[in-house]
């Protein structure tokens, strides 16, 4: 498949190191890690290595890392663990957080407003928390549509002092920038950082109680039952090790490419706007409103026909274009929000890819 892939925030190609680790585990570590024989030990060793790779990349103790099926499951664990009560959630949070909260009995969802960049305000969050007892606050470290960062590090201590549990979705930040916040619950997904799908991690504060959401055979310290998917876990650990080793250099390289793309598109497309560009952002993400008259979803289709994969800030449900909820919460009108495209870069992105997009998108708009 020859394609220029610029949709890394949706998912990533599996890194060769992760493919190799997964293939090796499939061939060699097929045992049940709970078994007390050589085949079991081989699998347990892979599990231990991968857990160590995740823990050391984030800088947390290994026994705080619980392997789960992905970010959505990790988020459901946290919402379950927090118990009933008010759940304060940033207005730009991933649907996994909103829906997990809506589904679980006794959770009362309240949206925390964001500004025009899509960021929560620390004082505003705390004043809402102080308005009454709260079970959980959930704020993403970086937004998947805009790349805009939230001040989650600043909220850890004040929320802890108030006895309110804090969930940070670090799915988009991990592997792109250092994840330094130490909330009660931290969420990672392998497939956003070069690992396979179907595996992620819930990182809990040391000593935090995590009642089992998926009860079973006591795996993962009783937090998450089910025989561990060793091949996926091996790929996750290997991918994490690679992206951590290359993270700082990649952040500089990708920010340069992204900024060149942003400047070039703004120059070529009068009336276009770079969303969240004045806020701190992930180095790899550009969310751009095309000039009026153009539509994000149509641009995605047109780019696809030319072999370039990008994404729209809108979703198409049964033929009807719906404006991005995230951009709407940031104050954009529906007409503006349907003009959004998201271009997200990664390890395989080159300057030649950016040059090609700088020629392609203005041509397609015209
Ligand atoms: N959180 C964020 C910020 C995401 O971007 C995603 C994936 O789109 C998720 C959570 C959910 O991840 P998954 O579908 O892999 O469980």
pLDDT of amino acid 321: 74
Q: Is the CB of 325 under 6 A from ligand 1?
A: no
Determine the atom of ligand 1 nearest the C-alpha atom of 70.
Answer: 16
Q: How far apart are CA 265 and CA 250, in angstroms?
A: 22
Q: Which of 7, 189, 193, 197 to mutate to test the pocket of ligand 1 (most atoms within 8 A of CB)?
A: 189
Residue of 131, 263, 315, 316 marked catalytic: 316
Segment 89-105, tens digit of pLDDT = 999 999 999 999 999 99
CB atoms closer than 10 angstroms to residue 276: 25
Index of the ligand 1 atom closest to the CA of residue 197: 15
Instruction: Give residue 315's pLDDT band: very low, low, confident or very high (50, 70, 90).
Output: low
pLDDT of residue 208: 85
Per-residue pLDDT tens digits for 8-58 = 999 999 999 999 999 999 999 999 999 999 999 999 999 999 999 999 999
Per the CB < 8 A criterion, the answer to whether 196 and 14 are in contact is yes
CA distances from 184 to 62, 78, 117, 159, 291 (A): 15, 9, 26, 10, 42
pLDDT averaged over every residue in the chain = 96
Proportion of the chain above pLDDT 70, given as a percent: 98
Closest CA to 131 of 84, 164, 153, 97: 164
**Residue range 58-68: mean pLDDT, rounded:** 97
Instruction: Please tell me the distance from the alpha carbon of residue 156 to that of residue 134, in angstroms, as a whole number.
Output: 15
- For 271, residues 6+ apart whose C-beta sits below 8 A from its C-beta are 291, 292
96 lines ligand 1 (CB under 6 A): yes
How far is Cα 254 from Cα 250, in angstroms, rounded to an integer? Answer: 6
Strand partners, 316: 321
pLDDT band at 318 (very low <50, low <70, confident <90, very high): low
Is 189 near ligand 1, meaning CB less than 6 Å away? Answer: yes
Asked if residues 90 and 120 have their Cβ atoms less than 8 Å apart, the reply is: yes
On the CB side of 188, how many CA atoms lie within 13 Å of its CA? 31
Cβ(192)–Cβ(241) below 8 Å: no
Q: Are 65 and 51 in contact (CB under 8 A)?
A: yes
Pocket lining: 77 vs ligand 1, CB cutoff 6 Å: no
- Single out the residue of 54, 44, 22 nearest to residue 200, CA to CA: 54
Residue positions counted in the chain: 366
Distance 94 CA to ligand 1 centre (A): 7
Whole-Å CA distances, 110 to 107, 181, 281, 342: 10, 23, 25, 27
Distance (angstroms) between ligand 1 centre and the Cα of 48 equals: 25
Q: Tens digits of per-residue pLDDT, 169-201?
A: 999 999 999 999 999 999 999 999 999 999 999
Q: What is the pLDDT of residue 225?
A: 96
The mean per-residue pLDDT over the stretch 290-308 comes to 97
Binned at pLDDT 50, 70 and 90, residue 132 comes out as: very high
Interatomic CA distance for residues 268 and 277, integer angstroms: 17
- How far is it, in rounded angstroms, from Cα 283 to Cα 176? 7
Report the run of H or E that residue 316 belongs to, with start and end: strand 315-317
Q: What are the Cα distances from residue 133, in Å, to 58, 76, 136?
A: 31, 21, 10
303 is catalytic: no
Among 9, 93, 96, name the best residue to mutate to test ligand 1's pocket (greatest count of ligand atoms within 8 A of Cβ): 96
Backbone angles phi, psi at 65, to 5 degrees: -100, 115
Kind of pairing, strands 308-309 and 4-5?
parallel
C-beta 12 within 6 A of ligand 1: no
HSE of 111, CA atoms in CB hemisphere, 13 A: 16
Give the whole-angstrom CA distance, residue 74 versus residue 288: 30
Ligand 1 contact via 171 beta carbon (within 6 Å): yes
Q: Write the DSSP string, 259-282.
A: HHHHHHHHHHSTT-EETTTTS-B-
Q: Is the CB of residue 341 less than 8 Å from the CB of residue 290?
A: yes
């Amino acid at each position: 498949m020859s394609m220029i892939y610029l949709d890394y925030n949706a998912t990533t190609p599996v890194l060769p190191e992760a493919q190799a680790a997964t293939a090796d585990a499939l061939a060699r570590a097929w045992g049940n890690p709970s078994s007390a024989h050589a085949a079991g030990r081989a699998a347990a060793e892979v599990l231990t290595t991968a857990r160590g790779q995740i823990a050391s990349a984030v800088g947390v103790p290994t026994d705080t890392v619980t392997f789960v099926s992905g970010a959505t499951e990790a988020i459901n664990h946290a919402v379950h663990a927090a118990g009933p009560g008010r759940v304060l959630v940033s207005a730009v949070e991933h649907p996994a957080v909103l829906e997990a909260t809506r589904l679980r009995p006794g959770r009362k969802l309240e949206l925390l407003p964001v500004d025009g960049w899509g960021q929560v305000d620390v004082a505003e969050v705390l004043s809402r928390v102080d308005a009454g007892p709260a079970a959980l606050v959930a704020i993403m470290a970086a937004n998947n549509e805009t790349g805009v960062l939230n001040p989650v590090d600043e909220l850890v201590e004040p929320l802890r002092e108030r006895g309110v549990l804090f969930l940070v979705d670090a799915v988009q930040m991990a592997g792109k920038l250092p994840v330094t916040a130490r909330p009660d619950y931290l969420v990672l997904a392998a497939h956003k950082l070069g690992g396979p799908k179907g595996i992620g991690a819930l990182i809990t504060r040391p000593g935090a109680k995590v009642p089992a959401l998926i009860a079973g055979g006591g795996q993962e310290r009783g937090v998450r039952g089910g025989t561990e998917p060793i091949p996926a876990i091996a790929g996750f650990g290997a991918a994490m090790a690679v992206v951590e080793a290359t993270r700082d250099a990649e952040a500089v390289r990708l920010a340069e490419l992204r900024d060149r793309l942003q400047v070039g598109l703004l120059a070529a497309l009068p009336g276009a706007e770079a969303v969240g560009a004045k806020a701190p952002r992930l180095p790899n993400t550009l969310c751009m409103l095309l000039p009026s008259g153009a539509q994000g979803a149509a641009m995605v289709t047109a780019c696809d026909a030319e072999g370039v994969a990008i994404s729209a800030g809108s979703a198409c449900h049964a033929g009807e274009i719906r404006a991005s909820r995230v951009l709407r919460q940031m104050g954009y009108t529906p007409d503006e929000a349907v003009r959004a495209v998201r271009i997200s870069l990664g390890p395989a992105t080159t300057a030649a890819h950016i040059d090609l997009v700088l020629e392609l998108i203005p041509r397609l708009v015209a």
